[in-house]
Amino acid sequence: MASTELAPAAGPAPAARRRARAEADVRLPGGGRITASAARRLHESVPRNSRSARDSRWSAYQDWCDTYGWDTAEDNAVLCFLDDLAGRGHPATTLDAHFGTLRMLRAMRRTPLDTVEIKSCLAIVSQRRGEEADDPLVEPGPLQAAGVDLSELRLMVRTLDRTTVRGRRDAAVLLLDWWMAGRASEPARLNLHDIKFTKVKVTDPATGDKTLREALIVKIRRSKADQAARGQEVRILAADESELCPLHALREWLDVLADDGQLTPGPLLRRIDKHGTIGAKGAGRHTKDPLRRGGITAETVNTVVKSAARAAGLTPTPAPEDRAAVALAARQAKEAAEQAATAEESNAILKAWRTTRRAARAAVRRITGHSMRRGCIQAMLDAGHPPEAVALHSRHSPRSTAFDAYRSTKLSWDQNPTGSLRLAA
C-alpha cells in the first residue's frame, strides 16, 4: 500500500492574502501601468545629470510644439523641431543630442518615429554639420576644454594654501583627478574604502632591477562608462615630487579627517563650509543622496579646477563690465527675436547672436573639470606610452572612438616629413 503521509489534506486551497500598496500605481504615457516602486527604480536607473538633460530637451521640444501648433506625437514634429534648432544657430552636436533623446522618449510613449522620419532627421543633422564646416566665422565642432599638462598642474597646486583644511582637500581633488585621468564625477563619488595604499615591485628602466615603490589602487564602483557597476580599478604609482604626488596629498587629507574625528566610513572627499567645518556637520546645502551626505559633488570638482586655473593665470577672470556686456547682448538678442515679424527673422537674429558668442568663447582658453582627464591622457601619450595602455588607464573601451578625441595627432616638427624635402638655395 502506498504511503499517504505526505498527501495534502482534502479541501479548497487557502485564499491568497492580497496586500494593499502604500502608493498608487503609475499610469504610463503610452498606456498601461507599473507600480510606483518600479517607476521610481526606473527613474533612478538613469544618472541624475542624464535625467536633467533628457527632461530639458523634452521640455524644449514641448515648448516648441506649443508655440507653433504641433502635437508632440505628430509625424515630422521632431524633424521640424531639429530644423528650427539649426535655424537658431545651434551646433550639430546639440541637434544630435536632442534627436537621440526625442527618438527614445517618443518610443517610450508608444509613438515611435518611423524609418523615413529617422533618416530625414539624420539628414538635417548632417546638413547642419556641413553648414558649420563652411562657416567662416566659427570653428566647427564642439567647444572643448583645454588639457592641463604637468607644468600647469604644478602652477594650479601652488595657488593652494596646503596648511589649511580647504587647501589640503583641494590639493587631493586636483592631484587625484589628474593622475587617475578622472571624469569629475569619479573622484567625487569615491568612498574611504575605495582607496588602498600599497607597495609594489617595478622594473627600473635604467638598470633592469626590481625596485619597491609606493602605489595607490583606486576602486571606481560606477561611472559614466560603467553603468552596470561592474567596477574598475585605477593603479597609480607614487610621483617622485611630493608636491605633485596624489598619494602624498591623500595622506595629508586623511590626516585632516583623523584630526577632526571623521576618519569614518563615508565619502573620501568631503565638503567644507565657509566656517571650515567638514562633512555632514557643515552648514549649507548637502547632496540629495543621503548616502553621500557630507561628500562633494562633480560640480565641486569642477569649481576647484576652474578656481585654481584662474588663480594660476591659466584662464582669464572676466571683469564685471565684461559679464554685464555679455548679459546685455543676450537680452537684446532675445528681445529683438520676440519682436520679429516671422519665425525666420527671429531665428536669424538668434543665430547671429549665437555665432558671435561662440566665436568669443572659442577665442578664450577654457579649463574645466574635464581638462584634468584630457591633460593626463595627452601627457601619457606624449611620454611614448602605447595608446592601448593609456586607454586602459583612462577606462576607455579598446574600440572607443571617443579616445581619439584626446589624442594629439600632430607630429612634432622633428618628425615632420616636409623637413626632408628641402630645396637647394
Helix pair angle (115-133, 77-87), 10° resolution: 10
C-alpha cell of 82? 531639429
pLDDT of the residue at 105: 94
Which helix (H) or strand (E) is 55 found in, with range? helix 48-68
Question: Does the predicted model carry a pTM greater than 0.85?
Answer: no
Q: Does pLDDT of 409 surpass 60?
A: no
Residue 317 has pLDDT above 60, yes or no: yes
Half-sphere exposure of 16 (CA within 13 A, CB side): 3
Q: What angle do CA 138, 140, 145 make, to 5 degrees?
A: 95
Give the residue carrying C-alpha cell 602652477: 155
Task: Please give the average per-residue pLDDT across 321-350, as a whole number.
Answer: 91
**Rounded to an integer, what distance in angstroms lies between the CA atom of residue 137 and that of residue 140?**
9
Selected residue with higher pLDDT from 136 and 233: 233
Using alpha carbons, select from 170, 174, 181, 180 the residue that is nearest to residue 152: 174
What pLDDT does 27 receive? Answer: 85
**CB atoms inside a 10 Å sphere around CB 382:** 12
pLDDT, one tens digit per residue, over 165-220 is 999 999 999 999 999 999 999 999 999 999 999 999 988 877 888 889 999 999 99
> What is the C-alpha R_g of the chain?
28
pLDDT at position 87 is 93
Checking if the pLDDT of 51 tops 90, the result is: no
pLDDT digits (tens, 9 = 90+) for 114-164: 999 999 999 999 999 999 888 877 666 667 888 999 999 999 999 999 999
The span from the CA of 57 to the CA of 64, in Å, is: 11
Cell of 216: 595607490
Share of the chain above pLDDT 90, in %: 52
d(CA 140, CA 134): 8
Task: Name the residue among 53, 58, 26, 21 with its Cα closest to residue 41.
Answer: 26
Quick one: which of 52, 51, 55, 49 has its CA closest to 297? 49
Which pLDDT band, with edges at 50, 70 and 90, does 355 fall under?
Answer: confident
> Once rounded to an integer, what is the mean pLDDT over residues 295-317?
94
**Confidence band for 424, pLDDT divided at 50, 70 and 90:** low
**Interval 246-299: pLDDT, tens:** 999 999 999 999 999 989 889 999 999 888 889 877 766 777 777 778 899 999
User: What's the pLDDT band for 1 if we cut at 50, 70, 90?
Assistant: very low
Q: Is the pLDDT at 97 greater than 60, yes or no?
A: yes
CB 158 within 8 Å of CB 249: no
Q: At a CB cut-off of 8 Å and minimum separation 6, what does 318 contact?
A: 326
CA angle (18 as vertex; 13, 20 as ends), nearest 5: 175
Give me the count of residues in the chain: 425
Instruction: Indicate the SS3 state at residue 340.
Output: coil
Q: Which residues pair with 100 in a beta bridge?
A: none
> Could you tell me which residues are beta bridge partners of residue 236?
216
Average pLDDT, rounded, for the chain: 87
Say how far apart CA 218 and CA 197 lie, in whole Å: 9
CA distance 73 to 314: 48
Q: Is 91 a residue whose pLDDT tops 60? A: yes
Q: Positive or negative CA dihedral for 163, 165, 169, 170? A: negative
Judge contact between 118 and 169, C-beta under 8 A: no
Element at 323 (helix H, strand E): helix 320-339
The strand pairing partners of 202, in sequence order, are: 211
User: Rounded mean pLDDT of 217-228?
Assistant: 79
Report the run of H or E that residue 199 belongs to, with start and end: strand 195-203
- The C-alpha atoms of residue 63 and residue 85 are separated, in whole angstroms, by 13
